[in-house]
Structure 1
Amino acid sequence: MTRQIKSIIIHCTATPNGKHFSVSDIDRWHHERGFKRSAEFRQWQNPDLAAIGYHFVIYTNGTVATGRHLDEVGAHAQGYNSKSLGICLIGTNKFTLEQWVALRDNVCKLQEHVMLLQGDSHPPIVLGHRDLPNVKKACPGFSVTNWLGNDMQPLPAHVLGNEEIADDE
């Protein structure tokens, strides 16, 4: 990793809970907002994704899809992109148990990976997008601080029940 990573920022897609969306959908939304990826990084990873701002997207079934390359500056948290990695959960404020497990595993692996590559004994801090100064939206739709304080276990009020999951994956 060639750039210094200080934080991992958690996001949500602000889409209906339990409904499937893909990195291609997010790429289209980010393209419409004017985001762009460089040709160089597109050659390295996900050449079909021209605009996605996140490094990882967690689907409702727990699958972790890649977006931007880890060395590529994201487009997910203005003012913090150059020193952060962005993870986005599909949904708004309730997530499947599979998503919660994938989020925990992804965050832990990224923290270890970044510490190893940067030779740092302190892991990058984990924040919700809404925890950043001047962010006025509740993204993600849960408190990352509370999730971390709960040993990265699912927050009961934010777990999606099976009856709430759209069957279109």
Structure 2
Amino acid sequence: MGYHFVLDVDGSKSTGRALDKIGAHMAGHNANSIGICMVGTDQYCTVQWGALASLVKVLLARYPGVPVVGNHDLSTDLNGDCTVEPSEWTKTCPGFTVANWLATGMKPQPQNVLAS
């Protein structure tokens, strides 16, 4: 498994690669990142959102000041305008804007919550 953690639809967390091992989740960034996968596409269960927030808080406590981004945020700015736009994404995951999620105190936008 290329990710360090997987968050399933029931909120459970599975451990993949050990944190001291290089991941295989985003080409060009594996050696300096921690990969978290949420099972789904762009809508996730409430328990998954809670599990993600908890995990990110734990990781930020262990690695303070590190950037928290989605795979698509690590795509190359092909047109050189200093913004990685959706048309430039090499991956679409996680299906939501991580910066917005962080700015709202790790609360998901309603369109990204899977209706139960």
Q: CA deviation at 1:133?
A: 2.5
Q: CA deviation at 1:124?
A: 1.2
Q: CA deviation at 1:113?
A: 1.5
Q: Residue 148 of structure 1 is aligned with which of 102, 106, 109? A: 102
The structure where strand makes up a greater share of residues is 1
Could you tell me how far apart the structure 1 residues matched to 2:91 and 2:21 are? 25
**Structure 1 unmatched ranges of 5 or more:** 1-51, 116-122, 163-169
Q: Residue 109 of structure 1 is aligned with which of 43, 58, 61? A: 58
SS at match of 1:100: helix
**Corresponding residue number in structure 2 for 1:77:** 26
CA RMSD of aligned residues (A): 1.0
Q: Contact 2:42/2:112 (CA < 8 Å) preserved in 1? A: yes
Q: Which has the higher contact order (CA 8 A, sep 6+)?
A: 1
Q: What is the aligned length?
A: 104
**Corresponding residue number in structure 2 for 1:157:** 111
Could you tell me how far apart the structure 2 residues matched to 1:90 and 1:133 are? 21
Q: CA deviation at 1:69?
A: 0.2
Correspondence 1:128 to 2:70: yes
Could you tell me how far apart the structure 2 residues matched to 1:71 and 1:138 are? 26
Provide, for residues 53-107 of structure 1, a one-character-per-residue CA deviation record: whole Å limited to 9, x for no partner.
Answer: 0000000011111000000000011111111100000000000000000000000
Could you tell me the TM-score, scaled by structure 2's length? 0.85
**Corresponding residue number in structure 2 for 1:57:** 6
Equivalent runs, 1:17-32 vs 2, <5 Å: none
Could you tell me how far apart the structure 2 residues matched to 1:87 and 1:71 are? 15
Could you tell me how far apart the structure 2 residues matched to 1:70 and 1:114 are? 11
Report the structure number with the largest CA radius of gyration: 1
Large movers: runs of 4+ above 3 Å:
none
**Corresponding residue number in structure 1 for 2:92:** 138
Provide, for residues 19-47 of structure 1, a one-character-per-residue CA deviation record: whole Å limited to 9, x for no partner.
Answer: xxxxxxxxxxxxxxxxxxxxxxxxxxxxx
